[in-house]
């Protein structure tokens, strides 16, 4: 009798199908979770139209039965948040976090079958959801073989997507493709696309910690499956006890620029865990770098060695004179001779080449108010780096270095780690192993008050909020591809990055190449495929709290008028607005300066870039404070400018403007406009 009563209870709880929904504060977006299909699922509506069809939720494990069939909604809980928080540095000082949340618990009738919660946050411009798996009997050791999360795109037939391939040898460093959505097979996030109704969406993730990176696999037309990058043993994620996944994010916007004018990724990250981070300093830098990429210098020792004491002093003098904060020096440490791409296990991170005197340079820098910026290239030999990391940061701290650029040059899937048995394993840059390795590096650096600029990184998922010393990173094709890439970055590259890679966070693109024909060959060879004005506009368009002036000092000295803009432009902002643009075509930004260590500053800046098409863009200046006068310093493509044959034709003019004015920007082919609005 007792037994049958229990069974009845269980039966009734599994037989009642349920849907739980939550809407965004403005009501435009609704996300619904359901147990009505054979597996738990979700769907999303935008303005009463489905944008994500029923899509599966759940996991498959190596040992336990999957979290899929037989799970029913057993609890829901809601809350609303409307709060603000401040960034120590960023695109804007104050970030608003306004969302409605629902936490939906799914459980199996069988008490040992498992339980998990999907926490969903609906913002006005998108949603985020994550899995929360509590500690429970039978799930002490978990090996996730697959996350079952799907993204079923509604109206995929006539959708257009902008994407780079995942699991490739070149990590995130690919030219972006524009294709029908159905041709995007296995892609990285942020994955941006426009559906048949012209709605722009972008799928990404936030707070990727101790978990595998997610790429998207189009398994059936329009249906993308979360595909977790595995360890070398094939397991996707290893966990012990309770855990939360990263947030799966779907940004939704009518206008392309509203994908950019969104703080979802940051809002879904945890607050700052480092306490006082006044030692993390935005700024501008120069460095012994471009010369190696265009072969005037070498990383390795010998006649053309770039990282000599003398050469560094020359850069420090230049930096001091023109207001740069730091000098990056690559190739200062032993290990670069021979084929450093493949022999990274011989890198020393403390032993300098004989012609590089780190103590003398630390002192020289101090006298001149310029810091040395450190460099740790690992060539993907992460155990070699891990073994030396503490000493390496201690040496840099002692040498007054507060920023280190790291590098993980290695083919995708070919990061070399030596396991506890001494066996070499080969891992992906976006595996759980490497996600942890990158964060270990950043948190150890924090103990030495050092900020990290990661090259060949894991993609950005907004962890700068939690660890503000993770100051910037690469994670896309940067300027270096214009020196030696096949092909170099195409004219549309920047207008593509703005709506894809840059949705993730800051990028160390290294703008500002002034000598656009360094190899003396024609337009179709390696060179930045831009005008000079566009190189200036990059400082406003591509956000990074540290920006390099990447060219050789002599090339800046040869064009002092254009160089003035690089001297003036800040790297930290009180506010940023993407004003106008279309993915891969053009983008216009306005940003308001934020002076160092203060929340003040009155100048505004504008940056606009176009693809291979020349274009005229009208910009209303209504972002400026009304009633105030500004002296606009305008750097724009000249009358005859076009990127191939007349890239240097640049017009610089000054004129008074107010918020009531409109400007007509004339951009040449692959051209740009950069403006400083100086408050007067
Ligand atoms: C690749 C980085 O992106 C580049 O900036 C650096 O110069 C080389 N690796 C060498 O570390
Ligand atoms: Ca790189």
Residues 665-674: pLDDT tens digits? 999 999 999 9
Mutate to test the pocket of ligand 1, among 329, 407, 507 (most ligand atoms within 8 A of CB): 407
Q: How far is the CA of 437 from the centre of ligand 1 (A)?
A: 19
Question: pLDDT at residue 305 above 80?
Answer: yes
Residue with tokens 């990074």: 544
Confidence of residue 76 (pLDDT cuts 50, 70, 90): very high
Say if ligand 1 is within 6 A of residue 474 CB: yes
| Cα 76 to Cα 117: distance, rounded to the nearest angstrom | 9
Q: Which atom of ligand 1 is nearest to the CA of 292?
A: 7
What are the E-state strand segments in 195-281? Answer: 200-206, 214-220, 223-228, 237-240, 243-244, 247-253
Ligand nearest the Cα of residue 510 is 1
Confidence bin at 80 (pLDDT 50/70/90): very high
Tens of pLDDT, residue by residue over 15-43, are 455 999 999 999 999 999 999 999 999 99
CB distance 612 to 604 below 8 Å: no
Q: What is the pLDDT of residue 83?
A: 98
Mean pLDDT of the chain: 96
Is residue 12 scored above 60 in pLDDT? no
- Closest Cα to atom 2 of ligand 1: 455
What percent of the chain has pLDDT above 70? Answer: 97
Q: How far is the CA of 455 from the centre of ligand 2 (A)?
A: 6
At residue 680, the pLDDT reads 94
- 654: pLDDT strictly greater than 60: yes
Cα 407 to middle of ligand 1, angstroms: 6
Dump pLDDT digits (tens) for 373-396. 999 999 999 999 999 999 999 999
Residue of the nearest CA to atom 8 in ligand 1? 407
Residue 518 has pLDDT above 90, yes or no: no
**CA–CA distances in Å: residue 460 to residues 209, 275, 291, 430:** 11, 21, 28, 11
pLDDT at residue 5 is higher than 70: no
Architecture of domain 2-267: Distorted Sandwich (2.70)
Q: Which ligand is nearest to the CA of 329?
A: 1
In short, whether 455's Cβ falls inside 6 Å of ligand 1 is yes
Q: Is 330 in the pocket of ligand 1 (CB under 6 A)?
A: yes
Atom of ligand 1 nearest to the CA of 377: 11
What is the spatial distance between Cα 122 and Cα 617, in angstroms, rounded to a whole number? 34
Q: What is the pLDDT of residue 523?
A: 75
Cα torsion for 558, 564, 565, 571, to the nearest 10°? 110
- All CATH 3.20.20.70 domain ranges in the chain, comma separated: 283-568
Q: How confident is the model at residue 597 (pLDDT cuts 50, 70, 90)?
A: low
Quote the percentage of the chain above a pLDDT of 90.
94
Judged against a pLDDT cut of 50, whether residue 10 lies above it is answered with no
pLDDT-derived band at 2, boundaries 50, 70, 90 = very low
Report the nearest atom of ligand 1 relative to the CA of 455.
3
Which residues are CB-contacts of 381 (< 8 A; sequence separation ≥ 6)?
A: 344, 345, 347, 410, 416
pLDDT band at residue 4 under the 50/70/90 scheme: very low
Contact of 451 with 471, CB cutoff 8 Å: yes
* 517-522 CB contacts, 8 Å cutoff, 24+ apart: 518/294, 518/483, 519/294
The ranges of the chain annotated as CATH 2.70.98.10 are: 2-267
Q: What beta strand segments (E) does 134-256 contain?
A: 141-147, 150-153, 160-163, 177-180, 186-187, 191-194, 200-206, 214-220, 223-228, 237-240, 243-244, 247-253
Q: From the CB of 480, is ligand 1 less than 6 Å away?
A: yes
Alpha helices in 325-467 (DSSP H): 358-368, 382-398, 432-447
- Gap between the Cα atoms of 304 and 201, Å rounded: 48
Residue 487: asked if its preceding bond is cis (omega within 30°), the reply is: yes
Angle subtended at Cα 345 by Cα 342 and Cα 348, rounded to the nearest 5 degrees: 120
Q: How many A from CA of 557 to the centre of ligand 1? A: 25
Q: Is the CB of 377 under 6 A from ligand 1?
A: yes
Ligand 1 atom at minimum distance from 375 CA: 11
Q: What pLDDT is recorded for position 624?
A: 98
Q: Report how far ligand 2's centroid is from the alpha carbon of 29 (Å).
A: 38
User: Which pLDDT belongs to residue 525?
Assistant: 85
At 442-451, the pLDDT tens digits run: 999 999 999 9
pLDDT > 50? residue 558? yes
Region 513-526: what's the mean pLDDT?
86
Which of 377, 379, 548, 550 is the best mutation target for the ligand 1 pocket, counting ligand atoms within 8 Å of the beta carbon and taking the most?
A: 377
* Cα(593)–Cα(42) distance, integer angstroms: 41
Helices (H) and strands (E) in the chain, counts: 13, 38
Using N-to-C axis directions, what is the helix angle for 382-398 and 432-447, rounded to 10°? Answer: 20
| Homologous superfamily, domain 283-568 | Aldolase class I (3.20.20.70)
**In a mutational test of the pocket of ligand 1, which residue from 287, 291, 330 has the highest number of ligand atoms less than 8 Å from its CB?**
330
Instruction: For 86, list phi and psi in degrees, rounded to 5.
Output: -110, 145
The 10 Å Cβ neighbour count of residue 129 is: 26
Please work out whether the CB of residue 407 comes within 6 Å of at least one atom of ligand 1.
yes
Q: Whose CA is nearest to atom 7 of ligand 1?
A: 289
Q: With a 6 A CB cut-off, is 594 part of the ligand 1 pocket?
A: no
pLDDT of residue 344: 86
**pLDDT tens-digit series, residues 161-182:** 999 999 999 999 999 999 999 9
Q: What is the number of the ligand closest to the CA of 456?
A: 2
Q: Please tell me the distance between residue 477's alpha carbon and the centre of ligand 2 in angstroms.
A: 7
Q: Whose CA is nearest to atom 11 of ligand 1?
A: 377
**Ligand 1 centre distance from Cα of residue 377 (Å):** 8
pLDDT computed for residue 17 by the predictor: 59
Confidence check: pLDDT of 8 > 60: no
pLDDT bucket at 598, cuts 50 / 70 / 90: low
- pLDDT tens, residue by residue, 196-213: 999 999 999 999 999 999
pLDDT at 1: 30
* Stretch 283-293: mean pLDDT: 98
Q: Report the catalytic residues.
A: 480
- Judged against a pLDDT cut of 80, whether residue 63 lies above it is answered with yes
At residue 9, the pLDDT reads: 34
Q: Which residue's CA is the nearest one to ligand 1's atom 3?
A: 455
* CA 242 – ligand 2 centroid, Å: 36
Q: What is the mean pLDDT of residues 649-670?
A: 98
Alpha carbon distance 381, 242 (integer Å)? 31
């Amino acid at each position: 009798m007792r037994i049958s009563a229990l069974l009845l209870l269980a039966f009734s709880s599994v037989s009642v199908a349920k849907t739980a929904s939550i809407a965004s504060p403005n009501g435009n977006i609704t996300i619904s979770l359901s147990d009505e299909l054979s597996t738990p699922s979700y769907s999303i509506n935008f303005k009463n139209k489905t944008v994500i069809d029923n899509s599966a939720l759940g996991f498959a494990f190596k040992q336990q039965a999957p979290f899929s069939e037989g799970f029913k909604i057993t609890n829901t809980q809601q809350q609303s948040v409307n709060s603000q928080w401040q960034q120590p540095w960023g695109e804007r000082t104050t970030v608003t976090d306004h969302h409605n949340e629902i936490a939906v618990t799914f459980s199996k009738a069988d008490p040992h079958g498992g339980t998990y919660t999907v926490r969903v946050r609906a913002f006005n411009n998108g949603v985020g959801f994550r899995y929360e798996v509590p500690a429970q009997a039978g799930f002490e050791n978990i090996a996730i073989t697959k996350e079952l999360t799907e993204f079923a795109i509604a109206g995929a037939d006539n959708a257009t997507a902008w994407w780079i391939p995942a699991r490739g040898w070149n990590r995130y460093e690919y030219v972006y493709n524009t294709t029908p959505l159905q041709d995007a097979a296995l892609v990285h996030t942020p994955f941006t696309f426009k559906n048949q109704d012209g709605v722009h969406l972008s799928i990404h993730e936030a707070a990727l910690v101790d978990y595998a990176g997610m790429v998207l696999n189009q398994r059936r037309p329009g249906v993308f499956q979360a595909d977790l990058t595995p360890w070398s043993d094939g397991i996707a994620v290893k966990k012990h006890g309770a855990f939360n996944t990263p947030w799966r994010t779907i940004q939704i916007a009518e206008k392309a620029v509203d994908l950019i004018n969104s703080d979802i990724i940051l809002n879904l990250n945890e607050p700052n865990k480092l306490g006082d981070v006044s030692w993390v300093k935005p700024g501008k830098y120069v460095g012994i770098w471009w010369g190696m990429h265009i072969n005037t210098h070498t990383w390795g020792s010998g006649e053309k060695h770039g990282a000599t004491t003398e050469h560094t002093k020359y850069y420090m003098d230049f930096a001091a004179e023109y207001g740069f904060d730091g000098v990056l020096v690559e190739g200062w440490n032993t290990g670069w001779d021979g084929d450093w791409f493949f022999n990274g296990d011989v890198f020393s991170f403390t032993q300098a080449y004989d012609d590089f005197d780190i103590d003398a340079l630390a002192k020289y820098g101090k006298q001149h108010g310029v810091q040395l910026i450190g460099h740790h290239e690992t060539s993907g030999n992460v155990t070699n780096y891990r073994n030396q990391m503490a000493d390496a940061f201690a040496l840099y701290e002692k040498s007054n270095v507060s920023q280190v650029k790291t590098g993980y040059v290695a083919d995708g899937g070919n990061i070399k780690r030596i396991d506890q048995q001494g066996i070499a394993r080969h891992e992906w840059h976006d595996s759980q192993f490497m996600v942890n390795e990158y964060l270990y590096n950043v948190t150890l650096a924090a103990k030495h008050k050092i900020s990290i600029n990661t090259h060949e990184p894991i993609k950005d998922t907004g962890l700068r909020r939690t660890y503000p010393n993770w100051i910037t990173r690469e994670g896309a094709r940067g300027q270096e591809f214009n020196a030696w890439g096949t092909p170099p970055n195409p004219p549309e590259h920047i207008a593509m990055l703005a709506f894809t890679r840059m949705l993730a966070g800051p990028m160390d693109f290294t703008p500002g190449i002034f000598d656009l024909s360094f190899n003396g060959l024609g337009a179709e060879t390696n060179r930045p495929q831009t005008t000079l004005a566009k190189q200036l506009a990059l400082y406003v368009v591509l956000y990074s709290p540290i920006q390099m002036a990447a060219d050789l000092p002599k090339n800046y000295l040869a064009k002092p008028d254009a160089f003035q803009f690089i001297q003036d432009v800040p790297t930290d902002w009180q506010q940023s607005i993407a004003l106008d643009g279309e993915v891969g075509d053009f983008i216009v930004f306005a940003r308001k300066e934020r002076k160092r260590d203060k929340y003040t500053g009155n100048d505004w800046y504008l940056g606009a870039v176009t693809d291979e098409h020349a274009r005229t863009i009208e910009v209303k200046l209504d972002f400026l404070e009304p009633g105030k006068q500004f002296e606009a310093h305008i750097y724009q493509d000249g009358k005859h400018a076009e990127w191939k044959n007349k890239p240097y034709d640049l017009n610089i003019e000054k004129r008074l403007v107010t918020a009531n004015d409109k400007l007509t920007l004339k951009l040449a082919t692959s051209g740009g406009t950069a403006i400083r609005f100086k408050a007067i």
